[in-house]
Copies of this chain bind each other. A is one copy, B any other.
C-alpha cells in the first residue's frame, strides 16, 4: 500500500476560481492488479481549457466531477508493474494528473521516447501545447510564404512555439503578451515586434504600427480586444486560427464578441476554431520537425514551475493572472 495525495474538485466556481474550489485528499494505492502498472507522477500540467471542465456543461472535454480527483496530462515513472511490456523505471505519460500516483491498466499510459528532451517537455513544447501550435499555424491557418503572423498570448506555452515555428520558417512575427518580462522573452525568441498589451491604450493601433501592410495570419489565444485588433489589422484573405479565448473563460455573463466582425466580409477573412485532439495524425510530423528545430537552436522554451501537489491549484489559478512565462507546470517528485 502506498499513500498518495490527489486534488479533488470541491465546488464549482462562478467566475474566477479560488483555492476554495479545490481540496487535497490522501488515498492508498493497493499493489497493481493483473494488467496494471503503478506510476509515481513526476510532473503534471495545468492548462486554460481545464477551466471549462470545472463547469457542469457538456463540451468537447467532459466536466470534472465534484468530490472526485481532477485529471489532465502528467508524466511519471513506473514504480511497480503487473503488465507485460512495462518495467520499473519506465517513463510514461497519461491523463492521470492532479495526483501523486496511480494504478492504471497498461492501455491507459503511453511510454515516452524522450528524444533527448526532459520529461516535462512532453507536457509542453513536445506535448499537447506544442502540437496545438503546430496544427493551428500550419494546418488551420495554412501558413504560406510571405505571411505576416500575429500571435496573442505569445509568451505562453502554445503562443511562444507558434512564434518560433513562424520565425524558423522565415516569417515576420508580431507577438502580444502582458508585462515587460514576457516582452523580453518574446525578443529573446526572435519575435520581430513584441507588444506589451497592458501598456497599450489602443491595441489595434499598436498592431497596425507593427504591421503597416497588415497581417495575414492571426493565432488567437486571448479573445476580446485582441480579436478586434486582429480584424482591424487583417489583410485581404487573412486566416485566423482560433485556439483559445482566455480573456473570457471566467466571465459570469456572456461577453460580447468583436464589434468589427463584419470586416470578415470585405476582407474575405477565414476564422476557424480547432481543438488539438482532432489532429493527432500530425504528431509524428510535429515530433520530427521539433527535434530538428531544437537541434538547430530554433526553438527554446520557458517553464514556470510550482512544486508539490498542494500547489497545483495555485499554479492553475496563476494562468488567469498571467503568472506563467511559457508552460505552467507542477513538479510532483
Indicate if the CB atoms of B256 and A259 lie closer than 8 Å: yes
The smallest beta-carbon distance between A211 and chain B, in angstroms, is 17
Query: Which of A143-151, A152-160, A268-276, A296-304 lines the interface with chain B?
Result: A268-276
Q: CB of A245 within 8 A of chain B?
A: yes
Cross-chain contact of A265 among B244, B261, B270 (Cβ < 8 A): B244
The smallest beta-carbon distance between A218 and chain B, in angstroms, is 13
Within 8 Å CB of A248, what residues of B?
262
Indicate if the CB atoms of B274 and A271 lie closer than 8 Å: no
The smallest beta-carbon distance between A159 and chain B, in angstroms, is 15
Indicate if the CB atoms of B259 and A264 lie closer than 8 Å: no
Residue of B nearest to A58 (CB): B266
Q: CB of A118 within 8 A of chain B?
A: no
C-alpha spacing A258/B278, complex, angstroms: 25
Q: Size range of the interface on A?
A: 20 to 34
C-alpha spacing A223/B269, complex, angstroms: 16
Indicate if the CB atoms of B265 and A242 lie closer than 8 Å: yes
Instruction: Give the dominant DSSP class at A's interface.
Output: loop
Indicate if the CB atoms of A264 and B254 lie closer than 8 Å: no
C-alpha spacing A260/B59, complex, angstroms: 13
Indicate if the CB atoms of A257 and B254 lie closer than 8 Å: no
How many monomers of this chain does the complex have? 2
Cross-chain contact of A270 among B52, B255, B272 (Cβ < 8 A): B272
Cross-chain contact of A266 among B59, B254, B266 (Cβ < 8 A): B59
Cross-chain contact of A268 among B244, B261, B274 (Cβ < 8 A): B274
Residue of B nearest to A264 (CB): B273
C-alpha spacing A273/B227, complex, angstroms: 16
Indicate if the CB atoms of A265 and B257 lie closer than 8 Å: no
C-alpha spacing A11/B210, complex, angstroms: 36
C-alpha spacing A257/B259, complex, angstroms: 5
Within 8 Å CB of A257, what residues of B?
256-261
Residue of B nearest to A270 (CB): B272
Within 8 Å CB of A265, what residues of B?
242-245, 273-275
The smallest beta-carbon distance between A236 and chain B, in angstroms, is 9
The smallest beta-carbon distance between A231 and chain B, in angstroms, is 9
Residue of B nearest to A256 (CB): B256
Do A259 and B269 contact each other (CB < 8 Å), given the known contacts A242-B264, A264-B242? no
C-alpha spacing A273/B264, complex, angstroms: 5
Q: CB of A267 within 8 A of chain B?
A: yes
Contact with B along A41-71 (1 / 0, CB 8 A): 0000000000010000001100000000000
Q: Which of A215-260 contact B (CB under 8 A)?
A: 223, 227, 242-245, 248, 254-260
Give chain A's interface residues, CB within 8 Å of chain B: 52, 59-60, 223, 227, 242-245, 248, 254-275, 278
Report 24 cross-chain contacts, Cβ distance below 8 Å, ordered by A residue.
A60-B267, A223-B261, A242-B264, A242-B265, A243-B265, A245-B265, A248-B262, A254-B259, A255-B259, A256-B256, A256-B257, A257-B258, A263-B273, A264-B272, A265-B273, A265-B275, A266-B273, A267-B273, A268-B272, A268-B273, A268-B274, A268-B278, A270-B270, A270-B273
**10 nearest interchain CB pairs?**
A257-B257, A256-B256, A264-B273, A254-B259, A265-B273, A257-B261, A60-B266, A270-B272, A257-B258, A271-B271
